Amino acid sequence: MASTTSPTLPRALPPSRLPSISPLSFTVLVVVGALFLVSMGQVAPSPEKLANGLPRMAELVGRMLPPNTDPGFLQRMGWRILETLQIALVGTVFGVVISLPMGWLAARGISPLGAFRHFPRALISLFRTVPDLVWALLFVSTLGLGAVAGTMTIVVDTIGFCGRFFAEAMEEADKKPQEALHAIGANRVTVLCGAILPDVMPTLINSSLFALEKAVRASVVLGLVGAGGIGQELKVAFDLFQYRNASAIILAIFIIVLAMEFLTDRLRAKFQ
Amino acid sequence: MERVPTEHVPVPPLAGLRPANTGNPPIGPLVKPPAPVLAPQIIGARGLAKTYPNGQAVFAGVDLDIRADQRVALIGSNGAGKSTLLKCLIGLLPSTHGEITTLGERFLAAPNAAQLTRLRRQIGFVFQNHGLVGRQSVLTNVIQGKLGLPGSWRAWHHALARQEWREEAMAVLAEVRLADKASARADQLSGGQAQRVAIARALIRRPRLLIADEPAASLDPAVGRDIMRIFSELARDHGITLVYTTHDMQHALDYSDRIVALKDGKVHFDRPTTRVSLRDMDGVFHG
């Protein structure tokens, strides 16, 4: 009988258990590890420091309790909370509305500015990278103390946040409907309104709701630098050692942020 | 690339070009019998060639003469250059060589902006992937077919569109048997229904020329035949010239008056469908 042996295949070895690492990657890993260890020694809390701080923390919490429920104080706090929510809402709405054209102008492959789209993109990056408290300081210096400075801060902060997400969402929008409309001679604005925005609407709504949630948290602390809202009341309470007032404000902030997260979660689920 | 001035060649209206049937008897032997009148030219191409910037030649020496009311199937295997030729003929892609006259617009390489605008206003497009906006209603998608026409800036949503356009959209949806789906979202339609909406979107432009790039390629065979039949019948009923690409031999044989076959960058044959055999077709794809 004729033999039917198949040609001998080269013996295949299984891949290594550990991923191979280049000398450069290894060096970077060592440098980062060393930097972390040095930093930890300098800025991380030591166990002794934590142990010494705990009794002081307990004492402070004791002075904070019970939270102040004086009707006069609660009424004043209520007005400040309302102002905080107004700053967040107005700032977010203005920010989202401005972010739409900014995102469009900055989006790769969609922007009518071509290579000049880097200018709106750089502006959005500037708005995003400078922290909101720094913007608040700038607006307090230029517009004066109060809620207007806070609102402007939230507007700028929202453009930095939403502008980037809106631009990325538009870049990832389905290209086929856009091509179909361009082929029949639709202009850029009608393609934006008719094809791009409907396609990315869930992302736009999600980003806007995240921006609102973020704005509520941010507007709470803007008062610390004089930009209006409940934060201003919190600063006064700590400055004057009115810890029971401070605990009532912190509790109110907690409830506001929790309520806002609950609300935005529900809205996000609805618009999916 | 050679360049010559482009010009607009007026095309007479369709109705005026047919030999008029007056019902009168012939006048007499001295009167010359009327010469056969050709339907007006819709697409004319002479010595057309296309080479990509990387030097790859797609086709060369293509001559075409497509007349009004014809239904032309452009066939060829994958990569034969069917879609590229189609895009060159309507000015969506620049050709490398040759002269094109489409819907009376004569141009070399690519039409100028004014010519392109005039061309687009007379052409309806249907793409393989239908290109509908998924999160918009069927009615909005159909009305968007009006975009690019004069005064169409409101046509990006049905709620903003003119009432007569809304009614026209419902009429074309009825023609593709989808009037009951007007409020449905486009991404909830089946592939065949979506392609019918795309046909309605093309028809609402009242085009003189309907261009379809592999309109049934992504559909199952039965739905694909249905789509091709709707296409073909609507084009005939509305007096629209239909040019479509396909690599389905049966679609080409069943739903066209004329078949143009591309092979190896040349026109392999260009004949009335009645004179094309399955063997001829086989030669395009396998010979």
Please give the pLDDT value at position B79.
Answer: 82
Interface check for A177 against chain B (CB to CB < 8 A): the answer is: yes
| Nearest-neighbour CA in chain B from A99: distance (Å) | 21
On whether the CB atoms of residues A268 and A88 are closer than 8 A, the answer is: no
Residue of B124, B131, B147 lying closest to A176 (CB–CB) = B131
- d(C-alpha A194, C-alpha A182), whole Å: 11
| Residues of chain B falling short of pLDDT 50 | 1-7, 9-28
**What order of strands is seen across the sheet that includes strand B105-108?**
B7-8, B105-108, B97-102, B41-51, B57-67
Q: How confident is the model at residue A92, as a pLDDT?
A: 95
- Please give the span between the terminal C-alpha atoms of chain B, in angstroms, as a whole number: 34
Torsion of CA A170, B118, B110, B91, to 10 degrees: 60
| The predicted structure's pLDDT at residue B19 | 38
Q: What is the predicted pLDDT for the residue at A272?
A: 67
What DSSP line would sit under B116-156, residue for residue? HHHHHHTEEEE-TT----TTSBHHHHHHGGGTTSTT-TTTT
Q: How many CB atoms lie within 10 A of CB A86?
A: 16
Q: Name the CA dihedral angle for B50, B56, B61, B63, rounded to a multiple of 10 degrees.
A: -50
- Token representation of residue B98: 């040759």
Distances (CA, A) of A41 to A30, A44, B265: 17, 6, 72
- B61 and A CB contact within 8 Å: no
Query: How near does any CA of chain A get to the CA of B105, in Å?
Result: 16
Q: Which of residues 78-137 of B touch A (CB under 8 A)?
A: 92, 116-117, 120-121, 123-125, 127, 129-136
Least CB-CB distance to B147: which of A176, A186, A198?
A186
Q: Which residues contact B205 (CB under 8 A, 6 or more apart)?
A: A184, B121, B123, B124, B145, B146, B149
B68-96+111-285: CATH topology is Rossmann fold (3.40.50)
What superfamily would CATH give domain A71-271?
Answer: MetI-like (1.10.3720.10)
Give the pLDDT score at B80.
85
Distance, in Å, from the CA atom of A51 to the CA atom of A57, rounded to the nearest integer, reads 10
A180/B131 touch (CB, cutoff 8 Å), yes or no: yes
- Rounded Cα–Cα distance for residues B88 and B69 (Å): 21
Q: Where are the domains of chain B?
A: 68-96+111-285
Alpha carbon of A91: minimum distance to chain B alpha carbons (Å): 29
Side chain identity, residue A237: A
Closest CA to B75 of B199, B213, B231, B230: B213
Cα separation of B287 and B285, whole Å? 6
**CB-side neighbour CA atoms (13 Å) of B63:** 4
Contacts of A141 (CB under 8 A, 6+ apart): none
**pLDDT tens-place string over residues B107-159:** 998 899 999 999 999 999 888 888 899 999 999 999 999 998 888 888 888 88
Sort residue A261 into left (φ over 0), alpha (ψ -120 to 50) or beta: alpha
Q: What pLDDT is attached to residue B34?
A: 65
Q: Which of B123, B156, B205 is closest, CB to CB, to A194?
A: B156
End-to-end C-alpha distance for chain A, whole angstroms: 69
Per the CB < 8 A criterion, the answer to whether B66 and B260 are in contact is: no
Q: Residue B197's pLDDT is what? A: 94
The whole-angstrom distance between B56's CA and the closest CA on chain A is: 24
CB pairs under 8 A between A and B: 70
- What pLDDT tens digit does each residue of chain A (272 aa) get? 444 555 677 788 888 787 788 889 999 999 999 999 999 888 888 888 888 888 888 888 888 889 888 899 899 989 988 999 999 999 999 999 999 999 999 999 899 998 899 999 999 999 999 998 999 999 999 998 888 999 999 999 999 999 999 999 999 999 999 999 988 888 899 999 999 999 999 899 989 999 998 998 888 888 888 888 888 888 888 888 889 999 999 999 889 888 988 988 888 887 76
What are the backbone angles phi and psi of residue B57, rounded to the nearest 5°?
-80, 130
Distance of CA B67 to the CA centre of its chain: 12
Chain B residues in contact with A194 by the CB 8 A cut-off are 133, 136, 140, 144, 147, 155-157
Whether residue B131 and residue A201 make contact (CB cut-off 8 A), yes or no, is: no
3-class secondary-structure state, position B12:
coil
